[in-house]
Structure 1
Amino acid sequence: MFTGIIETLGIIKDLKKENDNLHITVSSTITNELKIDQSVAHNGVCLTVVAINNDTFTVTAIRETIEKTNLGDWKGGDLINIERAMKLGDRLDGHIVQGHVDQTGTCKSIEEANGSWYFTFEYDKTLNNITIEKGSITVNGVSLTVVNSKINEFSVAIIPYTYQNTNFKNFRIGTKINLEFDVVGKYVARLHSLNL
């Protein structure tokens, strides 16, 4: 479990394909605090640390993960959001994030608002995921509040701290992002689809 509060940014150092798997090597300021077999969220995707070498660590993504996320678009030098799993007993500053991406979305617009930014994202509505006004959403692992909810799109407001300390600063119109919808909302949508 994660909170969606990003600890640091990582830099993709190497990507190696092996059969259907992708081995991702990341440089990070928290590498020396990691251990083998630890869960770490990368742009909101929970992956297990399989190797550590000086200031880099390696994780492996399987085909299903690559197909459901934006991992397949990553390249050397990309900045990614990094968060370690939450500790029991700590404050939950964001919201409950599983690290299981539901689908990808695309940045539709970016509007500067006198010191903050509004980002609008669109997604495939046929997958039955929903947002609600003032509800929670996770974009590339960042816990956010929905500002404007529509059938297949939503907006979020980004403060300067979040803009500077996550990879939001690199988003452009058309950027593909990972989305994890609120777990309670997913249960409600599922029950509704079953007509229960």
Structure 2
Amino acid sequence: MFTGIIETLGEVTELRQEQGNLHITVSSPIAAELKIDQSVAHNGVCLTVVTLSDGKHTVTAIDETLQKSNIGHLKVGDLINLERCMQMNGRLDGHIVQGHVDQTAICTEFKEMHGSWEYTFEYDPAVGNVTVEKGSICVNGISLTVVNSKKNSFSVAIIPYTFEHTNLQQVNVGSVVNLEFDIIGKYVARLMGTNTNATTSLNAI
């Protein structure tokens, strides 16, 4: 489990394709503290450390991950948000994040707001995911608060610290980002859908 509070930025130094898998090597300040088989969120995607060397670590993304996240869009030199899994006795400073990306979104608007920044993201609502005003959303692994929630889009306001210490600084109109919707909201939506289906079945009898 993660919190959506980014520990540090890493830089992609190597990408190696092997059949349907992509091996991603990342240089970062926390590489020396990592261990083989440790879970680390990369842009919100939980991946397992497979090798370590010289201030770098390597993880492997399978085809399923590449299809459902922006990991397959990475290029050498890109910045990537990193967060190690939460310790059981740690503070939950962001919100409950599983490291399982639900879908991607596209940045449709980017505005500077006198010392802060506002991003608007659009996603496919057909999957059934929803946001709520002032609710939580995880964008590229970052725990953020939703504003201007709509059926297929939402906005987030970014303070200078978050802008400077995450890869949102590289996100522009047209950029693809990873979304993980609030786990509590997903369970409520599923239960509401189940209850609706049950009611419809009863009415049909």
TM-score past 0.5 threshold: yes
- Residues 43-98 of structure 1 deviation map (CA, whole Å, 9 limit, x = unaligned): 00000000001111000011111110011111100001000001111111000000
| Equivalence for 1:189 | 189
Please give the secondary structure, in 2, of the residue aligned with 1:148: coil
More strand by share: 1
Distance of 1:66 and 1:193 partners within structure 2: 29
Amino acid of the structure 1 residue aligned with 2:98: Q
Confirm or deny that 1:141 pairs with 2:146. Answer: no
Distance of 2:191 and 2:65 partners within structure 1: 25
| Equivalence for 1:151 | 151
Q: Quote the offset at 1:111 in angstroms.
A: 1.3
Please give the secondary structure, in 1, of the residue aligned with 2:91: coil
| Equivalence for 1:15 | 15
CA RMSD in angstroms, aligned pairs only: 0.7
Amino acid of the structure 1 residue aligned with 2:54: N
Distance of 1:36 and 1:67 partners within structure 2: 25
| Equivalence for 2:66 | 66
Q: Quote the offset at 1:192 in angstroms.
A: 2.5
| Equivalence for 2:203 | none
| Equivalence for 1:40 | 40
| Equivalence for 1:85 | 85
| Equivalence for 2:129 | 129
Please give the secondary structure, in 2, of the residue aligned with 1:149: coil
Amino acid of the structure 2 residue aligned with 1:51: T
| Equivalence for 1:112 | 112
Distance of 1:90 and 1:74 partners within structure 2: 31
Confirm or deny that 1:177 pairs with 2:177. Answer: yes
Amino acid of the structure 1 residue aligned with 2:167: N
Distance of 1:21 and 1:193 partners within structure 2: 35
Q: Which runs of 4+ in 1 moved over 4 A?
A: none
Please give the secondary structure, in 2, of the residue aligned with 1:76: coil
Please give the secondary structure, in 2, of the residue aligned with 1:75: coil
Please give the secondary structure, in 1, of the residue aligned with 2:190: helix
| Greater gyration radius | 2
Distance of 1:12 and 1:5 partners within structure 2: 20
Amino acid of the structure 2 residue aligned with 1:17: Q
Q: Quote the offset at 1:189 in angstroms.
A: 1.6
TM-score by length of 1: 0.98
Distance of 2:75 and 2:119 partners within structure 1: 23
Q: Quote the offset at 1:193 in angstroms.
A: 2.6
| Equivalence for 2:29 | 29
Please give the secondary structure, in 1, of the residue aligned with 2:40: strand
Distance of 1:190 and 1:174 partners within structure 2: 30
More helix by share: 2
Q: Quote the offset at 1:19 in angstroms.
A: 1.1
Unaligned stretches of 5+ in structure 1? none
Q: Quote the offset at 1:37 in angstroms.
A: 0.3
Amino acid of the structure 1 residue aligned with 2:62: I
Unaligned stretches of 5+ in structure 2? 199-205
Distance of 1:94 and 1:130 partners within structure 2: 19
